[in-house]
Amino acid sequence: MEKYFYIPNIKLIGYGRCQTYQISCLKCGKLTFSLDKLRSVDELFCEDCDPDEKYIKERNISSENYVGNIIGIIIKSTTDSTLKKRSFYNYKKVYKRDKYTCQYCGYNLEEYTEFRALHIDHIKPWSAGGSNKMNNLSVSCSKCNLTLSDKWFNTFEEKKAYLLNINENKRIMRRKPYLMI
């Protein structure tokens, strides 16, 4: 017997350069829910709509479990007083200071053949109240930045040591084990 998953419709909600996702009710389109668990039929609809299978389209049922069907983008203003305003003034300065080189693994476009986007990394994450001051920013390649995600560290050195340890563990796991005779 094949297992099926209910796949919600989601909308990208943009605030300036930031994006989040919200699930859209299959019946009325109202934005609701978080994306943190598997969905039942009832959870594809908002609390105001009665779940009705006639609104469930073929694309909302899948043999693979994935986040959802992106059905639209909504751009919201960052002038909302409840949102913390972000300044990107120091980003160019940080790229120049760090010589367009990842401060965690040393990646730069001149020495590597593979392409990785360069990001600005917050040592104390923005989501944790970190600032855009120069001493809280460093250049990070996409691979390192996505590995670090929004983990919290007290210092840059602690963050770098954590990442180097993760990369070393991955390298050890990729090695083929020796046969013992």
pLDDT: which is higher, 145 or 181: 145
Q: What is the pTM of this model?
A: 0.48
Confidence check: pLDDT of 81 > 70: no
- The share of the chain scoring above pLDDT 90, in percent, equals 10
Residue type, 71: I
Please write the tens of the pLDDT for every residue from 128-179.
777 888 888 999 988 888 888 767 777 889 889 988 888 777 766 655 555 4
112: number of Cβ within 10 Å: 13
- The SS3 call for residue 180 is coil
For 36, 79, 125, the CA distances from 84, given in Å and listed in that order, are 24, 9, 13
Is the sign of the CA dihedral 119, 172, 158, 19 positive or negative? positive
Residue 107 near residue 44 (C-beta atoms within 8 A): no
Name the fold adopted by 91-174: DNA Binding (I), subunit A (1.10.30)
11: number of Cβ within 10 Å: 18
Give residue limits of the domains in the chain. 5-76, 91-174
* pLDDT, mean of residues 56-82: 78
